[in-house]
């Protein structure tokens, strides 16, 4: 592992996705255990997409399965496609298959974003109400203990895409948006919530992300969605060698 600080951001570089995922699992375990020691619980938001899948598999096996207090975790999602829970593109389904069906988190503490994919706006409002009810607040914004994020080749994170009106949202904690490029509705945590989290881990893997990652770290005016995350010590980037090849 190489630890770098570029443009004020903490970056940990690993040879490949497998080693990256194991290191990220170590960090997740420590963050969760520290939260439980401090407050007796951990409020966790999971990412979708391909990159976190191996992390979730790591967490669902030894030694992490035995050393994380799963019964103290409440599990939410950073974003979701407006599809049924069992749909192949559902972030909930991926997390369930890779982690949640094995890790002994109480089923009543797992909160999918979408119950009715035909009503994205109503689902976003319902999820916002849930967060306001259950999470502590930081300056009035629901505050997660840990949010896991990825990054798309276009610089999006969660479902905050380039040119989306959601990037301008400052009042809502959760919002729905139609993504023209994908011809689909998405529901996402908004920037105020992402920036209020106590800890954020960003996972980036693959050579197809290399150009975008270089823009994030070397072009401060690029205005990619992921660049709107506040640069803080508790936001840590986990990247593999392929993604970091242009840094």
pLDDT of residue 6: 83
Is the separation of the CB atoms in 20 and 56 below 8 Å?
A: no
Whether 4 has a pLDDT exceeding 90, the answer reads no
Task: Name the pLDDT band for 59 (thresholds 50, 70, 90).
Answer: very high
Stretch 217-235: mean pLDDT, rounded?
91
Stretch 126-141: mean pLDDT, rounded?
96
pTM value is 0.97
The answer to the question of residue 246 being in a domain is no
Whether 7 has a pLDDT exceeding 90, the answer reads no
CATH number at residue 36: 3.40.50.1360
Mean of pLDDT over the chain: 95
Stretch 181-188: mean pLDDT, rounded?
91
The answer to the question of residue 95 being in a domain is yes
The answer to the question of residue 247 being in a domain is no
Domain with 231, as residue range(s), is: 2-240
Stretch 94-122: mean pLDDT, rounded?
96
The answer to the question of residue 181 being in a domain is yes
pLDDT of residue 220: 84
Task: Name the pLDDT band for 5 (thresholds 50, 70, 90).
Answer: confident
Stretch 209-225: mean pLDDT, rounded?
92
If one counts the domains in the chain, the total is 1
Q: Print the SS3 string covering the chain.
A: CEEEEECCEEEEEECCHHHHHHHHHHHHHHHHHHHHHHHCCEEEEECCCCHHHHHHHHHCCCCHHHHCCHHHEEEEECEEECCCCCCCCCHHHHHHHHHHCCCCCCHHHECCCCCCCCCHHHHHHHHHHHHHHHCCEECCEECCCEEEEECCCCCCECCECCCCHHHHCCCCCEEEEEECCCCEEEEEECHHHHHHCCCEEEEECCHHHHHHHHHHHHCCCCCCHHHHCCCCCCEEEEEECCCCCCC
Token look-up 């994020």 returns 149
pLDDT of residue 221: 78
Stretch 22-32: mean pLDDT, rounded?
98
Whether 1 has a pLDDT exceeding 90, the answer reads no
The answer to the question of residue 245 being in a domain is no
């Amino acid at each position: 592992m190489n630890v770098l600080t570029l443009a004020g951001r903490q970056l940990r570089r690993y040879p490949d996705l497998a080693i990256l995922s194991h290191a990220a699992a170590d960090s997740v375990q420590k963050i969760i255990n520290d939260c439980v020691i401090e407050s007796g619980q951990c409020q966790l938001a999971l990412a979708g997409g391909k990159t976190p899948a191996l992390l979730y598999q790591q967490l669902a096996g030894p030694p992490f399965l035995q050393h994380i207090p799963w019964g103290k975790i409440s599990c939410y999602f950073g974003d979701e496609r407006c599809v049924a829970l069992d749909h192949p593109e559902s972030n909930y389904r991926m997390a369930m298959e890779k982690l949640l069906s094995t890790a002994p988190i109480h089923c009543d503490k797992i909160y999918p974003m979408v119950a009715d994919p035909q009503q994205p706006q109503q689902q976003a409002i319902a999820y916002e109400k849930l967060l306001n009810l259950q999470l502590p607040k930081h300056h009035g914004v629901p505050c997660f203990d840990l949010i896991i994020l990825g990054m798309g080749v276009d610089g999006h994170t969660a479902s905050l895409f380039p040119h989306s009106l959601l990037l301008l949202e400052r009042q809502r904690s959760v919002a729905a948006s139609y993504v023209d490029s994908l011809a689909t509705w998405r529901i996402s945590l908004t920037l105020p919530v992402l920036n209020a989290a106590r800890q954020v881990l960003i996972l980036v893997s693959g050579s197809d992300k290399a150009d975008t990652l270089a823009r994030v770290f070397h072009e401060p005016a690029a205005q990619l969605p992921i660049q709107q995350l506040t640069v803080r010590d508790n936001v840590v980037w986990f990247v593999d060698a392929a993604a970091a090849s242009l840094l």
